[in-house]
Structure 1
Amino acid sequence: MTLAISPQARDALENWLAAARALKGAADNTLTAYRADVLDFIAFMTLHHGGTEGLGPLSRLTVTDMRAWMAHLRGGGAGSRSMARKLSAVKSFYRWLAEREGYEPTAVLSTRTPKFQKKLPRPLSQDAARAMIDTVEIQNVKDWIGARDAAVITLLYGCGLRISEALGLRGRDLPLGDSLRIIGKGGKERIVPVLPVARAAVARYVAACPYPPEPDAPLFRGSRGGALSPRLIQKVTENARMQLGLPATATPHAMRHSFATHLLSAGGDLRTIQELLGHASLSTTQAYTAVDTLHLMKVYEAAHPKA
Structure 2
Amino acid sequence: MGEILVPADDALLGLRQEWLQALAGERRLSAKTTEAYERDTRQFLAFLCRHIARPVRLSDIDSLRPADVRAYLAFRRREGAGARTLGRDLAGIRSFLRWLEKRGLANAAGVRAMRAPKQPKSLPKPLSAEEALAVSAEQGQLAEEPWIAARNAAVFCLLYGCGLRISEALGLTPDDFSGNPTSLRITGKGNKTRLVPLLPAALEAVRHYGALCPYHLAGEKPLFRGLRGKALQPAIIQREMQALRGALGLSDKATPHALRHSFATHLLAAGGDLRTIQELLGHASLSTTQVYTGVDTGRLLEIYDKAHPRA
TM-score by length of 1: 0.59
Q: 2:267 aligns with which of 243, 263, 281?
A: 263
1:126 aligns with 2:143: no
Q: 1:164 to 1:189 in 2, by over 3 A?
A: same
1:74 aligns with 2:77: no
Letter of the 2:171 partner, please give it. Answer: G
Query: Does the 8 Å CA contact 2:125/2:253 hold for their aligned counterparts?
Result: yes
Query: Does the 8 Å CA contact 2:245/2:252 hold for their aligned counterparts?
Result: yes
Partner of 2:224: 220
Letter of the 1:138 partner, please give it. Answer: Q
Secondary structure of 2:150's counterpart equals helix
Whole-angstrom CA distance in 2 between matches of 1:267 and 1:275:
16
Partner of 2:117: 114
Whole-angstrom CA distance in 2 between matches of 1:210 and 1:125:
34
Partner of 1:248: 252
User: How far off is 1:216 after superposition?
Assistant: 2.5
Identity %: 56
Which range moved further: 180-189 or 136-145?
136-145
Whole-angstrom CA distance in 2 between matches of 1:222 and 1:76:
45
Q: 1:139 aligns with which of 137, 142, 150?
A: 142
Q: 1:294 to 1:220 in 2, by over 3 A?
A: farther
User: How far off is 1:278 after superposition?
Assistant: 0.5
User: How far off is 1:137 after superposition?
Assistant: 2.7
Secondary structure of 1:216's counterpart equals coil
Letter of the 2:213 partner, please give it. Answer: C
Q: 1:286 to 1:211 in 2, by over 3 A?
A: same
Partner of 1:236: 240
Whole-angstrom CA distance in 1 between matches of 2:93 and 2:246:
34
User: How far off is 1:134 after superposition?
Assistant: 3.4
Partner of 1:35: none
Whole-angstrom CA distance in 2 between matches of 1:221 and 1:172:
15
Whole-angstrom CA distance in 2 between matches of 1:242 and 1:77:
40
Structure 2 counterparts to residues 149-188 of structure 1, below 5 A: 149-175=152-178, 177-188=181-192
Q: 1:64 to 1:250 in 2, by over 3 A?
A: same
1:148 aligns with 2:156: no
Q: 1:261 to 1:294 in 2, by over 3 A?
A: farther
Query: Does the 8 Å CA contact 1:265/1:292 hold for their aligned counterparts?
Result: no
Q: 1:281 to 1:227 in 2, by over 3 A?
A: same
Partner of 1:14: none
Whole-angstrom CA distance in 1 between matches of 2:147 and 2:182:
24
Letter of the 2:182 partner, please give it. Answer: D
Over aligned residues, Cα RMSD in angstroms?
3.3
Whole-angstrom CA distance in 2 between matches of 1:277 and 1:234:
20
Structure 2 counterparts to residues 56-71 of structure 1, below 5 A: 64=66
1:205 aligns with 2:205: no
Unaligned ranges ≥5, structure 2? 1-64, 71-86, 96-109, 300-311
TM-score by length of 2: 0.58
1:272 aligns with 2:276: yes
Query: Does the 8 Å CA contact 1:136/1:240 hold for their aligned counterparts?
Result: no
Larger radius of gyration: 2
